[in-house]
Amino acid sequence: MEYLKNKAVIIGAGNLAWHLLEGLESIGVPVTTVFSRSFEKAEQLAKRSFQAVPTNNMDFTHLSANLFFLCIPDDALISVVSQIRLPSKAILIHSSGSMPISALQNNFTHQVGVLYPLQTFSKSHKVEWRKIPIFVEASDETTLEKLFHVAEQLSEEVFEINSEERLRLHISAVMASNFVNHFLYIASKYLQELQLPFSIIKPLVEETIQKAFRIGAYEAQTGPARQNDKETLAYHIETLLQLGQTQEAHLYEMVSKSIIRTYFPHYDLF
């Protein structure tokens, strides 16, 4: 019965806020207020909700909501936490992979927690919350139970994890998602120069990802570095340098060295 009383406030109106609002309302947690520094942005997001009221004021002491979700960039967290004013029974929650739970402590916060969804969110792209793993952490058992309950309604996969573990998880996510995407961007630029469509590498990329999950990423590796083919590696690096792609040449060399060290730990590097 206690859970039925959950009411949420979303602080921030960016990518995560956009989807969290929809997710919370879909599991019956009403979002009563949306905060943004810009009243217009708060209004835009609030319009997507059943009943949320937009605001640009961080004094929330008069509200009856209990879950306050900070959906703001990591580097703004400490400053916002020091300015925010909350009702006495509020739980202040952030969704960052790298910020520790201790970043939420101030004189007005007693119960704090983290609800970290392992997914990349963009306003333009719909997400399926049930398929997104969620990692939770809380200041105390009661708060943990409450956050776990919300997370389990949102997602099929919920884990308790501490701040240090979450930081390492976030690093893995950056490697697997942000770095892979950056390499796709570099590849797309080269393809564009060759007047080939980006979609030409889609079958290769899809099979690479599928194979890694089929047989394991270690087993799935192929290519010149996996063969320790120093001649081809040097040829590729030289070509990149001649094309004036110095940064990409360094990147190519660094990643190739990492692959060689993984499979040939006792070999001399090129």
In the bound state with ligand NAP, the residue whose beta carbon lies nearer, of 32 and 95, is 95
Q: How far is the CB of 42 from ligand NAP (least distance, A)?
A: 9
User: In the structure encoding, which two tokens stand for residue 149, read together?
Assistant: 């309950």
CA–CA distance from 99 to each of 20, 74, 78 (Å)? 19, 7, 10
We find the least distance from the C-beta atom of residue 96 to ligand NAP, in angstroms, to be 3
Give the E-state strand segments of 74-188 in sequence order.
Answer: 91-94, 111-117, 134-138, 158-160
Minimal CB distance to ligand NAP: which residue? 14
Rg from Cα positions in the chain: 23
Residue with Cβ nearer ligand NAP (79 or 199): 79
Total residue length of the chain: 270
CB of 200 to ligand NAP, least distance (A): 27
Of the pair 99, 249, the CB lying nearest ligand NAP is at 99
| Closest to ligand NAP by CB, 41 or 146 | 41
The residues that touch ligand NAP, with contacts defined as CB under 6 A, are 12-17, 36-38, 41, 71-74, 76, 79-80, 95-97, 117, 119-121
User: Distance of alpha carbon 131 from its chain centroid, rounded?
Assistant: 14
CB of 133 to ligand NAP, least distance (A): 11
User: Distance of alpha carbon 235 from its chain centroid, rounded?
Assistant: 37
Smallest gap from residue 80 Cβ to ligand NAP (A): 5
**Least distance CB 142 / ligand NAP (angstroms):** 24
Q: Are 214 and 246 in contact (CB under 8 A)?
A: no
Q: Which is nearer to ligand NAP, 79 or 262 (CB)?
A: 79
Q: Which residues of 207-217 are buried (b: 16+ CB within 10 A; e: fewer)?
A: eeeeeeeeeee
| Of residues 36 and 155, the one with the C-beta less far from ligand NAP | 36
CA separation for the pair 258, 265 (Å, rounded) = 10
